[in-house]
Amino acid sequence: MPLQIPDPVLGTWAKGFPSRSAGLRLSEVAGAGLHLSDLVTPVLTVHEAALAHNESTVFAWAERQGVLLAPHGKTTMAPALWQRLLDAGAWGISVATPWQAEVAVEAGVSTVLIANSVTDGTAARHLGELLAADRDLRILCWADSVGTVGILADALEGADRPLDVLVELGGRGGRTGARSVEEGERIAQAILEAPGLRLAGVTGYEGPFGPDREDASVAAVDAYLSTLVELHRRLAYPPDVRPVLSAGGSAFPDRAAAVLAPQRGDADIVLRSGAFQIHDDGFYSRMSPFGPLTSTEPLRSAMHAWSRVVSQPEHGLALLDAGRRDVPFDLDLPVPQSVEGRITALNDQHAFLDLADGAGVAVGDVVRLGLSHPCTALDKWRVVAMIDDPDAADPRVIGAVATCF
């Protein structure tokens, strides 16, 4: 089903786009004859061929594993990119908050998985209203405590349709989630006893248990995922429910598939990996299993930033015009790709580039930057230009994507 794709009129609010693009609708950018050199630095771009490669690689792998994908929409918050995922065969779209769920529903996503507990009664009531307004809509959320179930039950009392709730299981040192299988059973029983709710499965997030791909981390991730299977096997679901068993961030989808997929005979195994579509040149390039571990092609970074040299106040130092308001810095600093050197610090609107011996740039030169963590890259941009080839001398702008941050 086609989504409702934002098609705003560009203006000065669209960071990175030139004044000549003012008045164009987003859908008209592809035919405007723009090149990267026409854009105003700093600017973020996405690479269409890399997007297509990443999507085809991961969806083909998921089909071979017998698992479904509900990629995390919070990564891009871009309905146009969600549409690509749905067209590729996504079971649904995951989100992190009730507001993000509302954005997805408004765009036309028919299966929305809120990968979080909803503890705001007003937000929960609105979810019930959305379900009542569209009989084809499915919304699922999590609960990791009996208290959360109570909030949801109060909000959904008398609801026209029940809200699907998954029991979230965590573990010591993890993030959210009940800390034992026994507590998960108590939460499940509370859901079963709440008239406005429906027990729909078991879920969790394995990321905190594996900081790297060393054997000890993989073993810890597998041990945690096995507790999800144990809880799933202990629960008695309503007769009209095919349960969902869900995990799989972007660092360990291979382990989630290996541990959970044997349960696909009586459950939908849904992985929520979201960063794979954009990928990166930092954290996920180090952590992603795609490549030899999964007998697939490696993923490719589909995002780059382009930043101009604004100052060279000292030998070996260049200041760029991209800063914390433009590029991610939570996991790694950007990496210069068109000149040898390293980014040593970011200010609000400056990057400090320490040039390698023998490397040189001039004031006004544009430097391509590899980035780490797409979730904190796209949230800084309301419109992102799509280019044909980042390695070209002057890439063509072949479209643009609006985000809903």
Strand runs labelled E in 295-346: 303-314, 317-320, 335-336, 341-346
Tokens 């009209």, located at residue: 240
Whether residue 71 is contained in a domain is answered as: no
How many structural domains compose the chain? 2
CATH number of the domain to which 356 belongs: 2.40.37.20
Model pTM above 0.85? yes
Model confidence at 1: pLDDT above 80: no
* Structural tokens at position 91: 């079971």
Let me know if residue 8 belongs to a domain.
no
Percent of the chain with pLDDT over 70: 100
User: Is 60 inside a domain boundary?
Assistant: no
pLDDT band at 215 (very low <50, low <70, confident <90, very high): very high
Residue 151 lies in a domain: yes
Final residue in a domain of this structure, among 226, 255, 272: 272
Query: Which domain, by its residues, includes 395?
Result: 19-48+299-402
Query: Which residue has tokens 């040189």?
Result: 360
Per-residue model confidence (pLDDT) at position 34: 98
**Per-residue CA distances from 67 to 34, 60, 208, 245 (Å):** 40, 10, 22, 10
189 and 262, same domain (yes or no)? yes
- pLDDT of 364 reads 98
Same domain, 255 and 343: no
Considering the domain architecture, whether residues 315 and 265 belong to the same structural domain is answered as no
pLDDT, residue 169, reads 98
Residue 293 is given by DSSP the state G
Domain-ending residue, one of 272, 290, 311: 272
Task: Looking at the structure, tell me whether residues 127 and 242 fall in a common domain.
Answer: yes
pLDDT of residue 248: 84
Is residue 336 located within the same domain as residue 374?
yes
Is 92 a domain residue? Answer: no
As given in the structure block, the two tokens for residue 400 are 């643009």
The CA distances from residue 196 to 36, 141, 199, 400, in Å, are 52, 13, 10, 41
Give the residue-averaged pLDDT of 130-140. Answer: 97
Domain contains 58? no
Task: Please tell me the predicted confidence (pLDDT) of residue 193.
Answer: 97
Residue 26 and residue 400 in contact, taking contact as beta carbons nearer than 8 Å: yes
d(CA 188, CA 149): 9
Residue that terminates a domain, selected from 222, 257, 272: 272
- For residues 357 and 258, state if they share a domain: no
The answer to the question of residue 79 being in a domain is: no
Residue 114 shares a structural domain with residue 236: yes
Contacts of 22 (CB under 8 A, 6+ apart): 10, 11, 12
Mean pLDDT of 272-301: 96
Q: What type of residue is 168?
A: E
pLDDT band at 249 (very low <50, low <70, confident <90, very high): confident
Residues 356 and 398 reside in one and the same domain:
yes
Report yes or no on 2 lying in a domain. Answer: no
Query: pLDDT tens digit string along 307-325?
Result: 999 999 999 999 999 999 9
* pLDDT reading at 104 higher than 90: yes
Query: Which domain CATH number covers 156?
Result: 3.20.20.10
Same domain, 119 and 236: yes
Cα–Cα dist 94/73, whole Å: 6
My answer on whether 250 and 379 are in the same domain is: no
Q: Choose between 128 and 173: higher pLDDT.
A: 128
Answer yes or no: do 122 and 259 share one domain. Answer: yes
What does DSSP assign to residue 204? -
DSSP three-state, residue 226: helix
Instruction: Please check the confidence at residue 57 and state whether its pLDDT lies above 90.
Output: yes
Does residue 242 share a domain with residue 315? no
pLDDT at 358 over 90: yes
Average model confidence (pLDDT) across the chain: 97
Determine the average pLDDT of the residues in 320-348.
98
